[in-house]
Structure 1
Amino acid sequence: DPPPTTTPPTTPPPTGGACTATYRTTTSWSGGFQAEVTVTAGAAPLNGWSVRWTLAGGQSIGQVWSGTLSTSGSTATVRNAEYNGSVPASGSTTFGFVANGSPSTPSLTCTSP
């Protein structure tokens, strides 16, 4: 009898897994905080990226650097600046912001167009 054939498991390509984003609060004070987000490319280089998260109650972003902010309700989206949209595979770039309110640890969604 021929040996049974086993089909190797197929891993579907990751959807929306082109990049990951990590968040850290760098400093905080009464009524506000500063944070930094690191965007890391996956197995393929990025040609543009955006990071989205939900602002906690009472938070508002005042200033962003190394990115472009847009907000819709309580959702904040930061897109790459002209000079840091291209990220090599497994490479990373960062952006930062100053916000009003208390620091939190939001869940970030990173996408590459």
Structure 2
Amino acid sequence: MTVTAGASAINGWTAGWTPASGQTITQLWSGTLTVSGSAVTVKNVSYNGSLAAGTSTTFGFLANGSPSAPTLTCSSP
């Protein structure tokens, strides 16, 4: 997944989605995973939270279950 800062720099980011029924994340890198009920949230780690305007960073994960295309929401503090 790619997180891109818009017209302004950001200091921290969060991406979240609700996986399809039966999907579970088994491995995550370049982020901190939180699962609450059916919601999944990934927050930046220390080395990829500050992004200058127009720049990006990535995080990745492996999951079990059938593939789907969830709606992703992103925010910065």
Q: TM above 0.5, one fold?
A: yes
> Distance in 2 between the 1:105 and 1:93 partners?
21
The CA deviation at 1:102 is 1.2
Cα RMSD, aligned residues only:
0.6
Q: Which runs of 5+ in 1 are unaligned?
A: 1-36
The CA deviation at 1:74 is 1.0
Return the structure number with greater relative CO, CA threshold 8 A, min gap 6: 2
> Distance in 1 between the 2:61 and 2:10 partners?
22
Paired position in structure 2 for 1:94: 58
2:42 partner amino acid: V
User: Are residue 47 (structure 1) and residue 11 (structure 2) matched?
Assistant: yes
Which string of whole-angstrom CA distances, capped at 9 and with x for unpartnered residues, describes residues 51-103 of structure 1?
01011010011111000000111100000011000111011110000111011
In the TM superposition, 1:72-87 aligns within 5 A as 72-87=36-51
> Distance in 2 between the 1:76 and 1:104 partners?
14
User: Are residue 58 (structure 1) and residue 22 (structure 2) matched?
Assistant: yes
The CA deviation at 1:48 is 0.4
Give aligned pairs, total: 77
> Distance in 1 between the 2:36 and 2:53 partners?
30
The CA deviation at 1:46 is 1.1
Q: Which runs of 5+ in 2 are unaligned?
A: none
> Distance in 2 between the 1:80 and 1:48 partners?
6
> Distance in 1 between the 2:60 and 2:66 partners?
16
Paired position in structure 2 for 1:4: none
Which stretches of structure 1, 4 residues or longer, exceed 3 Å deviation after superposition?
none
